[in-house]
Amino acid sequence: GENVEQHPSTLSVQEGDSAVIKCTYSDSASNYFPWYKQELGKGPQLIIDIRSNVGEKKDQRIAVTLNKTAKHFSLHITETQPEDSAVYFCAASKEGGTSYGKLTFGQGTILTVHP
């Protein structure tokens, strides 16, 4: 089955700096890669996703890049703010067929943004 590795496990930055979180996946058939943000006591919330027919996607201060050949994808947050502090998870899945909804998550990255 799919295996997703996520690094780093913790990341501490100063407000205004950029933060980068990286993930690798094992199944070359995976083609959908969402990123989730989880705040304390809450369930994960989708912040951005990318499909394998796209190399990069941006949404304001957040961007995701995908390298299908190397089987890795990254989350980039620019101009970080204290409210960005949370646990971030990457995930991978295969669209189509009966496995369309099955997400395999990485281990998570605790991001702390210091004012």
Partner 1 sequence: EAGVAQSPRYKIIEKRQSVAFWCNPISGHATLYWYQQILGQGPKLLIQFQNNGVVDDSQLPKDRFSAERLKGVDSTLKIQPAKLEDSAVYLCASSLTPSSGRAQEQFFGPGTRLTVL
Residues in contact with partner 1 by the rule CB under 8 A: 4, 6, 32, 34, 36, 41-46, 49, 89, 91, 93, 95-108
> E-strand spans in 1-115?
4-7, 10-14, 19-25, 32-38, 45-51, 56-59, 62-67, 72-77, 86-92, 104-105, 109-114
**Minimum distance from residue 104 beta carbon to partner 1 (Å):** 8
Of 16 and 100, nearer to partner 1 (C-beta) is: 100
In whole angstroms, the minimum distance from the beta carbon of 77 to partner 1 comes to 19
Number of other CB atoms surrounding residue 11 within 10 Å: 17
Closest to partner 1 by CB, 19 vs 91, is 91
* Tokens, residue 101: 């909804």
CB 86, min distance to partner 1, A:
13
